[in-house]
Amino acid sequence: MNDKYNPFFDTFSLRSGVQLKNRIVMAPMTNFSSNEDGTVTDSELKYYARRSSGVGMVITACTFVTPNGKGFPGEFAGDSDEMIPSLQRLAATIKEQGAKAVLQIFHAGRMAPETLVPNGDVVSASAIAAEKEGSILPRALTEQEIEAIIHDFGETTRRAIEAGYDGVEIHGANGYLIQQFFSPHSNRREDRWGGSLEKRMAFPLAVVEEVKRVVKEHAKQPFVVGYRFSPEEVETPGIDLDDTLKLVDALAEQNLDYIHVSLMDFWSNPRRRGVDDSKTRIEWIQERVGQRVPVMGVGSIHTADDAMKAMQTGVPLIALGRELIIEPDWVKKVADGRESEIKTTLTKDDQERLVIPDPLWQAIIHTPGWFPVV
């Protein structure tokens, strides 16, 4: 192995006591490939097995915590105890390859397609539609329903513990329900769940507290709790980086194992209001809280040199998403000194070789610009 890549292979001890064998993580990515009843398919298990042997940790695609939280066709379920055997199969598949298995838990909120939720009853913090074509007007959740969803995040965490996962990642990013409560665009409430920035933080922090409470009560061994967030929104009003720095300050006080910055490009600059663009978003976040909580970065990291440059920001954990779909042997190739052989593009003949389930493959091939297909 080329010595300059040694830092990838340093072990990393998370606050919970879980130790990662290296600093490379498989990012959570929806694959649209579960069964109609919400159970994990054999093709998904093969897909995860193919990508779990090199990385230190695998964060799964998101699983919904309540029936009205389903965000995608072919998404696997975590909303009832009947799903524990399915969740268990996925955890075991990942762990057999030597990686830690972390279940991403979420609620889609207003981003849920009405065809996927019971009675088409799409809900959010407020009755404000998303600013994208075809968005429907969601119903504002009642206080009682909010409390119930917080409880459901805890219940899905309990199921993750019972299913043998090493942790959960709370999905507070990408415009889904937790972010909808934090956002001034989607949260226009005037009760304890909305209004000021502090009140818009109430739901995200309540979910964190409930997940931690369940872990303390049910986990018999160290169990990871991470939190993923998107640093900015395009909408006006919307989350800006200054808002996010206040959120990560609050998250840094929660004894989390890591915070995960959801970016399409690791090196992206702040979009607007709040802070200047003399530093990238992730550099602002690392500078603000990196000494208090480990930061995980992601986004358009392809080569070993890309990952090395990202680590030089001080961020200790690097997540690879699309790149691990393109190159499942990324970690092994770096370890073997074959980093020059890492593939960064796909061809239309690669599905079988890369063990990619049909629904995900169709999405890759038919979504121009998402993956580099040559």
State how far the alpha carbon of 68 is from the alpha carbons of 82, 184, 207, 350, in Å. 17, 22, 17, 35
DSSP class of 184: T
Among residues 48, 165, 176, 258, the one annotated as catalytic is 176
d(CA 204, CA 177): 9
Tokens of 211: 């997940």
Question: Are the C-beta atoms of 18 and 167 separated by less than 8 Å?
Answer: yes
147: CB partners within 8 A, 6+ apart: none
Question: Are the C-beta atoms of 91 and 167 separated by less than 8 Å?
Answer: no
Kindly state the helix (H) or strand (E) to which residue 92 belongs, with its residue range: helix 84-96
Phi, psi at residue 320, to the nearest 5°? -110, 130
For the chain, count helices (H), then strands (E): 13, 12
Tokens of 85: 């055997």
Query: Is 5 tagged catalytic?
Result: no
Assign 70 to helix, strand or coil: coil
Residue with tokens 């981003």: 111
d(CA 159, CA 63): 11
Q: What is the CA radius of gyration of the chain?
A: 19
Catalytic residue list = 176
